[in-house]
Amino acid sequence: MKALDWVVLLGTLGFIVSYGVWKTRGSRDIEAYLKGDNSMKWWSIGLSVMATQASAITFLSTPGQAYEDGMRFVQFYFGLPIAMVIISITVIPIFYRLNVFTAYEFLESRFDLKTRSLAALLFLVQRGLAAGITIYAPAIILSTMLGWSLNVTILIIGVLVVIYTVSGGTRAVSVTQKQQMAVMMGGMLVAGYMVVQYLPERVSFGDAVAVAGKMGKMNVVDFSFDWDDRYNFWSGITGGLFLALSYFGTDQSQVARYIGGKSVAESRLGLIFNGLLKIPMQFLILFIGVMVFVFYQFNQPPVFFNEAAKARVYATPYADNLRALETQYAGVFAEKQEAVQGLVTALRTEDEGAIATAQQQVDALTANARSVRDEAKQVIKQATPKAELKDTDYVFISFVMKYLPTGLVGLLLAVIFSAAMSSSASELNALASTTVVDIYKRSVRQEGSGRHYVMASKLFTVGWGAIAITFAMFASLLDNLIEAVNIIGSIFYGTILGIFLVAFYFRYIRGNAVFVAAVLAELVVLYCYYFSDIAFLWFNVIGCVCVILFGFILQALFGKPGEQEGTA
């Protein structure tokens, strides 16, 4: 990194943190600290909701995913706009009417204290672990690329986030997220412009898209139904809808973003803003990844994008094997580059026969290149058995570090740090507000002053920040950690969603029934986890369906609502 990159990176991050602290100084009561005094406008809510969802991994992994798998990941978001409409109609008015600080507070007015506390605890366990990973996942990639110590990178992200989140609470999170979103989208647009500019002069933008299409990367929508296919229209519109409903409707890190609006209308518009812009944003990020793919059809890509992993192999007896494969890969690339240029020429002639012939040649050489790449991965695995062989997370950051001019490298690193900070800040803020409002203020100390609860919120934010940073620092000691956290999330998410669905849509079921149903559903999910081979993503569905089903059965056993307990 050059001096100018450092100035851009540190200047951007320093400005965002300082602005957040200055703008939100003096929040002295709990309403202001945890709900931002209900002062947020719709566009501020919309940007905040988008920035919370866009973690650093979004900007690191998504272009790499398009590089490897094409555009089809965008279908994963097809259910999101529908979820925004459902939440705007049903959830937002209820949260406003009850004037809640957290989503779980609503559960007490609908059911009872024990159900509220159960849902809050499930959220704290799940989100508390995820907060560590939100910091760890980008830190491992950034530290590898920048040559920094992993712990220093984790500390930089974690401490910066804690500073402004503690200082200004929810409003500081929203205020900084506006700047962070501007940096993120501005940086990505510049990166997209640059990658198109870096294409050879003889290749136009239209040629680049056509080549990407012929090489299978413009596979945006697939209407065919296949259970085993993770991303198609049907899985996106159904699975994506359920995931978005649970994430935006029950996860406090998102709920806090929109219940701080000036009115129901401002909150609704904020979610509608997200519903309109989320898919185009994901499309843009994926499309930049596809353009990086086309760029690497005319510029030699590394055989393996994680250079640090390759450097470790060079220090072993397998170094010569890897170097031989790199030479072989360069040879295949030279042939493929000519073939792709032939495909561009054929596409311009619009001669179907010539296009088919050129495409066959490109496909054959692409298969050769993939085979050499797979061999290189095997060598890396043999030389360093603990090495992570998935290198797609490094595709975009490698392109940025190697090809973008001085200054822009700093800007794109600021994009990734900003994304890491924006989602971490929302998580820490949500963890602190849930701990204070649903546990401490409700069950430990009910008679404290506003100032006391603000101080407690700040201390809990620092505490959760320390837990997240510590967890991130020790994360590398565990294998498959990200998957482990996803599994833990799936174990709890289904039950939480089930409780909320019952609360909103099944008035027949009351507090005792839903509480016992939730405990039983959690036991069923844990049984499935320990004693079955069911894929963990299904735990979300199993937990949710079990809560509803058991809730109905138990309510029937307990008696009609009103006979057994008061109506909510």
Partner 1 sequence: MPDINPHEREKPLEKPPFFKHWSGMYWLVLGNLVFLILLFYTLTKIYA
Expressed in percent and rounded to 5, the helix, strand and coil fractions of the chain are 80, 0, 20
Question: Under the criterion CB under 8 A, does residue 269 sit at the interface with partner 1?
Answer: yes
66 burial class (0-12, 13-18, 19+ CB within 10 angstroms)?
A: buried
Q: Which of 155, 272, 284, 545 binds partner 1 (CB under 8 A)?
A: 272
Question: Under the criterion CB under 8 A, does residue 276 sit at the interface with partner 1?
Answer: yes
CA end-to-end distance (rounded Å), the chain: 60
> Of residues 281-300, which lie at the interface with partner 1 (CB under 8 A)?
283
Closest CA to 297 of 328, 340, 350: 340
Question: Under the criterion CB under 8 A, does residue 88 sit at the interface with partner 1?
Answer: yes
Q: Which residue has the tokens 């989320």?
A: 278
Cβ nearer to partner 1, comparing 205 with 508: 205
Contact track, partner 1, 210-249, x by CB under 8 A: x-xxx---xxxxxx---------x----------------
Q: CB of 336: closest distance to partner 1 in angstroms?
A: 20
Cβ nearer to partner 1, comparing 47 with 210: 210
**Phi and psi based region of residue 216 (left: phi greater than 0; alpha: psi -120 to 50; beta: remaining):** left
Q: CB of 215: closest distance to partner 1 in angstroms?
A: 10
Question: Under the criterion CB under 8 A, does residue 84 sit at the interface with partner 1?
Answer: yes
Q: CB of 275: closest distance to partner 1 in angstroms?
A: 4
Q: Which of 11, 14, 186, 280 binds partner 1 (CB under 8 A)?
A: 280
The piece of 8-16, 271-279, 294-302, 357-365 that touches partner 1 (CB under 8 A) is: 271-279
Q: Which residues contact 470 (CB under 8 A, 6 or more apart)?
A: 132
**Within the chain, how many helices (H) and strands (E) appear?**
22, 0
Question: Under the criterion CB under 8 A, does residue 487 sit at the interface with partner 1?
Answer: no
97 burial class (0-12, 13-18, 19+ CB within 10 angstroms)?
A: exposed
Q: CB of 286: closest distance to partner 1 in angstroms?
A: 11
The rounded Cα 342 to chain-centroid distance in angstroms is 39
User: What are the residue ranges of helices labelled H in 449-534?
Assistant: 450-474, 481-505, 511-531
Q: CB of 143: closest distance to partner 1 in angstroms?
A: 36
Three-state SS at 350: coil
Residues touching partner 1, count (CB under 8 A): 39
Q: CB of 396: closest distance to partner 1 in angstroms?
A: 22
Applying CB under 8 A, the residues found at the interface with partner 1 are: 23, 26, 39, 41-42, 71, 74, 78, 81-82, 84-85, 88-89, 209-210, 212-214, 218-223, 233, 261-263, 265-266, 268-269, 272, 275-276, 279-280, 283
